Structure formats: structure tokens, C-alpha cells
Amino acid sequence: MAAYVSVGSEPGTHALRKALRARGVRVLLPVLLEDDDLDWGEDEGPERLAPARRGLLEPEGPRLGPEAVIRADVVLLPGLAVDRRGMRLGRGGGSYDRVLARLAGAGADPALVVLLYDGELLEEVPEEGHDRPVHAAVTPSGLHRFTPRPR
């Protein structure tokens, strides 16, 4: 599974990551590269995270390369909002747009899931040609699944 370390007011990922590691699930965490693409490292717990650019926390261990994400069965994506079609509004850096393009280019089809608060599930968010829909959003009120539409 590929996840991320929540920061600020984002829905927390710590307990989820801890539970997954306890079950023996290999959890990958992003490492922000200078060009804003993402490399990946293994989640070895909070004591093995280091401060990074943009106030992020990143794994201290070996880097696995940007392509490591294509082997994930589930990719947990950060987002500001998701609409009822499954379109995700990111923070504007394009890092996860690159991840989604990398997955599509490799023919990988992991479950794409976004953690949100209930008020961040909207009727519609702006969409650009490179945007790809996610499969589900998890909010405090429950799991919201989206029907993929043809591109």
C-alpha cells in the first residue's frame, strides 16, 4: 500500500499506517523530490520519519524509486476535496497527478482512495484534462465509492 504522512489539518493517517504495519502490510510513503515528483520509502514507524520540504515528514530509509508505487494494491491520496464523480482536487503541486499518470502508463490499477472530512465531498470540483478519478473517499460518515467513467 502507498500512503502518506498526514500534516496540519488533514485527516490523520498515523493510526491507519500503524494498524497496517502491525498486520504485516508493507506501507510506502512519499519522498518529495526537487522537481516535485515523488520517490518512495518504506514506512518504518513515526520514529523513522524526518522533516522535509513544505512541512512534510518523510521516511529516513532507502529510496525505492518513483516506480515503486506501481506495485501497490492501494494508493491513499491526499486531497482538498473529491466530487461525486470521483474527481480529486489536490493541492496544486502536481505530485500526485504524476503518480496517477505513472500508474496509468504502467497499466497498474490499484484502488485509489482519498481521506477527507464530510464537508470536503462536493458535488463538483474543477477538472483538467490530465486529472484521473479515484475509486473511493473515506470520510467520518463512511465509505463513498465512485463509478469510474470512460476517459
pTM value is 0.93
Query: Was 95 annotated as part of a binding site?
Result: yes
Query: Was 12 annotated as part of a binding site?
Result: no
Which CATH number goes with the domain that contains 68? 3.40.50.10420
Is 47 domain-assigned?
Answer: yes
How far, in Å, CA of 138 to CA of 145, rounded? 9
How far, in Å, CA of 35 to CA of 93, rounded? 10
Query: Was 99 annotated as part of a binding site?
Result: no
Is 6 domain-assigned?
Answer: no
Query: For residue 147, what pLDDT is reported?
Result: 81
Angle at 74 between CA 125 and CA 76, to 5 degrees: 45
Query: Was 8 annotated as part of a binding site?
Result: no
How far, in Å, CA of 135 to CA of 39, rounded? 23
Query: For residue 91, what pLDDT is reported?
Result: 82
Query: For residue 50, what pLDDT is reported?
Result: 96
Query: For residue 116, what pLDDT is reported?
Result: 97
Is 1 domain-assigned?
Answer: no
Is 100 domain-assigned?
Answer: yes
Q: Which residues of the chain, if any, have pLDDT below 50? A: 151
Query: For residue 9, what pLDDT is reported?
Result: 93
Is 4 domain-assigned?
Answer: no
Number of domains composing the chain:
1
Closest C-alpha to 118, from 89, 144, 151: 144
Query: For residue 128, what pLDDT is reported?
Result: 87
Query: For residue 93, what pLDDT is reported?
Result: 83
Query: For residue 149, what pLDDT is reported?
Result: 58
Query: Was 79 annotated as part of a binding site?
Result: no
